[in-house]
């Protein structure tokens, strides 16, 4: 892919400020990185996958979990709460396919209170926004 012009400074600043506000959460940092990795996998965003795999390693996430997050249903490496968040991440990321099924949302709500669930949802929305920016502007991992 050819590198395209990046976002105008004001647009980038607005997105960055939004992302920083969303990141101001008490959610487990490893859970946040799992969300970012899974959404980036689904969206095919190499730039964000590279960044968030590195970020996950830096906070102590295991290589095994980073490598298998795309197959989380078929491994014993993720807790029930993490599985619920990964299912929600997939449903929100692929919202045009099946919307967000009640069962997926309710399972996440079983593990997290309303504030945490709101923070999870905003994290999913934010990484999907960044994925779309990175893909559209042709950002490449370095």
**Does residue 45 lie within any of the structural domains?**
yes
**Does residue 111 lie within any of the structural domains?**
yes
CATH label of the domain that carries residue 43: 1.20.1290.10
Domain that holds residue 70: 9-137
Q: How high is the pLDDT of residue 101?
A: 98
**Number of domains forming the structure of the chain:** 1
Long-range contacts, 120-125 (Cβ 8 Å, 24+): 120/27, 120/31, 120/35, 120/85, 120/88, 121/88, 121/92, 122/22, 123/22, 123/23, 123/25, 123/27, 123/32, 123/35, 123/36, 124/35, 124/39, 124/88, 124/89, 124/92, 124/93, 125/22, 125/92
- Please state the pTM of the whole predicted model: 0.94
Mind listing the pLDDT tens digit of every residue in the chain (142 residues)? 666 777 788 888 999 999 999 999 999 999 999 999 999 999 999 999 999 999 999 999 999 999 999 999 999 999 999 999 999 999 999 999 999 999 999 999 999 999 999 999 999 999 999 999 999 999 999 8
**Does residue 1 lie within any of the structural domains?**
no
């Amino acid at each position: 892919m050819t590198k395209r012009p990046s976002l105008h400074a004001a647009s980038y600043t607005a997105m960055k400020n939004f992302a920083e506000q969303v990141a101001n959460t008490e959610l487990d940092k490893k859970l946040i990185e799992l969300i970012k990795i899974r959404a980036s996998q689904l969206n095919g965003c190499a730039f964000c996958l590279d960044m968030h795999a590195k970020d996950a390693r830096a906070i102590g996430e295991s290589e095994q979990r980073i490598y298998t997050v795309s197959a989380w249903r078929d491994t014993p490496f993720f807790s029930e709460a993490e599985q619920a968040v990964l299912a929600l991440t997939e449903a929100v990321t692929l919202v045009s396919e099946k919307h967000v099924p009640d069962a997926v949302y309710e399972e996440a709500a079983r593990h997290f209170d309303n504030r945490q669930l709101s923070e999870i949802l905003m994290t999913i929305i934010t990484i999907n926004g960044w994925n779309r920016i990175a893909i559209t502007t042709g950002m490449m991992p370095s």
